[in-house]
């Protein structure tokens, strides 16, 4: 009788561990699909946006400066704010989100 009770206790403990492993595995999957994957997708879109910047496009910087791309030289973009008024910024200072918002307003 004692042996059967011990076997039942061992079986219950084994299923408890498997339940915990399943729980932690599901938490990791949920974190991946709701946090990590969207962040990777956004980073990929931002990298594509920065690499495809061309002269004449309307852009917005992270600081909120609106302008038109005047020239692209490596990692530096010259933005024309008004006729004859230009600034130079790093490509990483351009905001995909703000630029999308600008183009959707038009």
Cα–Cα distances in angstroms (integers) from residue 57 to residues 5, 7, 34, 51, 92, in the given order: 75, 72, 32, 13, 16
The H or E element spanning position 58 is strand 58-60
Same domain? 86 vs 102: yes
Segments in the chain forming alpha helices (H): 2-31, 37-51, 96-105
Confidence of residue 106 (pLDDT cuts 50, 70, 90): low
Same domain? 61 vs 42: no
| Residues 94, 49 contacting (CB under 8 angstroms) | yes
The total of other beta-carbon atoms located within 10 Å of residue 65's CB is: 16
| Residues 39, 47 contacting (CB under 8 angstroms) | no
For the chain, the average pLDDT equals 85
Full domain range(s) for residue 34: 1-52
pLDDT in tens, 51-73: 999 999 999 999 999 999 999 99
Q: How many domains does the chain fold into?
A: 2
Predicted TM-score (pTM) of the model is 0.66
């Amino acid at each position: 009788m004692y042996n059967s009770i011990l076997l039942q206790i061992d079986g219950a403990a084994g299923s408890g561990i498997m339940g915990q492993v399943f729980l932690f595995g599901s938490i990791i999957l949920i974190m991946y699909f709701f946090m990590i994957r969207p962040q990777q997708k956004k980073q990929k879109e931002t990298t594509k946006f920065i690499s495809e910047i061309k002269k004449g496009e309307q852009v917005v910087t992270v600081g909120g400066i609106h302008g038109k791309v005047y020239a692209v030289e490596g990692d530096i973009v010259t933005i024309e704010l008004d006729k004859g008024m230009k600034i130079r910024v790093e490509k990483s200072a351009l905001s995909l989100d703000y630029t999308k918002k600008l183009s959707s307003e038009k």
